[in-house]
Amino acid sequence: MWDDCRRIGVAVDFSPCSKKALKWAVDNVARSGDHLILISVSPEGNYEEGEMQLWEATGSLGDVVFREALIPLSEFSEPHLMKKYGVSPDAETLDIVSTAARQHGIIVVLKIYWGDAREKLVEAVDNIPLDSILIGNRGLGKLKRIIMGSVSNFVVNNASCPVTVVKSHD
């Protein structure tokens, strides 16, 4: 599937800082023919009970192998389909990626993980595999960063590919 194209991951939680990172990736990194892989991490339990149990037991949803499933832009633009995955892309995110795909020839897909965002983003780097990953930074103060833990700091220190952190403030 990947051929010789670059695989650029962007961590998305549909917050303002992740949208800024996505926009920055489209404007500064991605080029025609690249795969822009949006990586969304939902907390465990943020899914429709029956479907997640089915995926865990069989590894598939219908004839799609879930562990390897990359959701194409045409599917994650459909709200009723995304409800099954427990993810709700907002209009601004969809506009950014639709424009990138249409105007720049970038192939956009979505990969969803469940669990701790820090661990799953690092896992995605090797599992997909990614050539680079971009992540937004909420600009937490030192105390909040110590208490909550910085996702971007963890990814920078543990990912096996180049990591770009896009600051949420100017």
Distance CA 72, CA 70 (A): 6
- Residue bearing the bigger pLDDT, 55 or 155: 155
In the chain, what percentage of residues exceed pLDDT 90?
A: 54
What's the average model confidence in pLDDT over 58-74? 57
Question: Which of the four pLDDT bands, split at 50, 70 and 90, describes residue 49?
Answer: very low
For residue 12, the SS3 value is coil
Q: Give the global pTM.
A: 0.81
What's the average model confidence in pLDDT over 145-161? 79
Among the residues of the chain, which ranges form H helices?
16-28, 49-58, 73-76, 79-85, 91-104, 117-127, 142-148, 151-158
Residue 103 Cα to chain centre, angstroms: 21
Provide the token pair at 2.
């990947």
By mean pLDDT, which of 58-67, 73-82, 112-121, 161-170 is the weakest?
Answer: 58-67
**pLDDT for residue 71 is more than 80:** yes
Question: Which of the four pLDDT bands, split at 50, 70 and 90, describes residue 2?
Answer: low
Domains of the chain: 7-167 (3.40.50.620)
Contact 41, 126 (CB under 8 A): no
DSSP for residue 115: S
